[in-house]
Amino acid sequence: MLLVTGGAGFIGSNVVAALNDAGRSDVVVCDLLGHDGKWRNLAKRQLVDIVPPAELLDWLKGRKLDAVIHLGAISATTATDGDHVFETNFRMSMRLLDWCTAGAVPFIYASSAATYGDGEAGFGDDASLPALKKLRPMNLYGWSKHMFDLAVAGRVANGDPLPPQCVGLKFFNVFGPNEYHKGSMMSVLARRFDDVKAGRVVQLFKSHREGIADGDQRRDFIYVDDVVRVIMWLLAKPAVSGLFNVGTGKARSFKDLMLAAYAALGTRPNIEYIDMPENIRGAYQYFTQSEVDRLCRAGYNGGFTTLEDAVKAYVGDYLDRPDRFR
């Protein structure tokens, strides 16, 4: 069996879909479905079980798995409960790392571009301890992910045991189907699509930094299908381990993202710019752009979808249809 933690979430449910499409129905999801309709992310899938996170360690006792794909986390960059975030994102990850090490089970886990903070130390995915120690995450979520990256790097540096495959993936700004339960953490495209479709004004943040135009804050936007391809490739390449960026390598603006949505619908843009809330200005990233050379040197040659093609696919295949779920 394969275990996908966070498998009812955004990236996780897309991974489960790809596994099903590849003929794997022996998939176990660890997640909480809650009351926000997250179950719909799995409504078209075939699973063995859905295990609540609090029961996972007991469930794992005596089992042998083909791999653990660990995507479960508190992923809100606005989260403020430090104890809860650290317990969920760091300590549970450590327990899974130890379990996979003891049982020689491949372990693929989600890190984040949030570990890079404001980008002052660059966006290179050097997994050495000296390089990682230079990073300064700007929010609690990014710090919790960074702490786990450091823990893994420490074991590598000390020659301590690790799973036979141990891979961390620093996801940049992922968007695509099944993100609808994420509320304010949805991509701006998903949040504003109905406004785009109806011709209502779409609001983007003004810039509060000299030299950067309103709406020109840039991110490395990557379509979820590209992320899934990387994970599926890693499952087929058990000799590959390391810490890798997963982005397109090209930063694009939020304005570009929304203009691509208008283009996909063939409608006239209607964008206005509003002040960024005071509470997030100090921790706001104005630029992220992955360096993907390390992933390519490891052998990945699947390429990445351009922003315009990705938005066109997302709009045409999901957002502009009655059933938006994969």
What number of other Cβ atoms are within 10 A of residue 22's Cβ? 10
Q: What was the pLDDT predicted at 169?
A: 98
Q: What was the pLDDT predicted at 77?
A: 82
In a domain, 263, yes or no: no
Backbone dihedral region for residue 7 (phi beyond 0: left; psi -120 to 50: alpha; all else: beta): alpha
In a domain, 312, yes or no: no
In a domain, 45, yes or no: yes
In a domain, 101, yes or no: yes
Count the domains in the chain.
Answer: 1
Query: Is residue 197 among the annotated active site residues?
Result: no
In a domain, 211, yes or no: no
Asked if residue 245 belongs to a known ligand binding site, the reply is no
Query: Is residue 141 among the annotated active site residues?
Result: yes
Q: Extract the residue ranges of the chain whose pLDDT is less than 70.
A: none
Q: What was the pLDDT predicted at 282?
A: 77
Q: What was the pLDDT predicted at 278?
A: 85
Asked if residue 31 belongs to a known ligand binding site, the reply is yes
Instruction: Encode pLDDT of 51-97 as tens digits.
Output: 999 999 999 999 999 999 999 998 888 888 999 999 999 999 999 99
Q: What was the pLDDT predicted at 33?
A: 95
Domain encompassing residue 24: 2-176+221-250+286-305
Q: What was the pLDDT predicted at 283?
A: 74
Q: Does this model's pTM top 0.75? A: yes
**Which contacts of 84-87 are long-range, i.e. CB under 8 A and separated by 24 or more positions?**
85/140, 85/141, 85/144, 86/144, 86/147
Q: What was the pLDDT predicted at 197?
A: 96
Q: Can you give the CATH number for the domain in which 118 is found?
A: 3.40.50.720
Instruction: Encode pLDDT of 272-287 as tens digits.
Output: 999 998 888 877 888 9
Asked if residue 74 belongs to a known ligand binding site, the reply is yes
In a domain, 269, yes or no: no
Q: What was the pLDDT predicted at 178?
A: 98
In a domain, 110, yes or no: yes
Structural element, H or E, at residue 170: strand 166-171
Asked if residue 235 belongs to a known ligand binding site, the reply is no
In a domain, 294, yes or no: yes
Which of these is catalytic: 109, 116, 141, 300?
141
* Cα distances (Å, whole numbers) of residue 228 to 52, 302, 323: 23, 11, 21
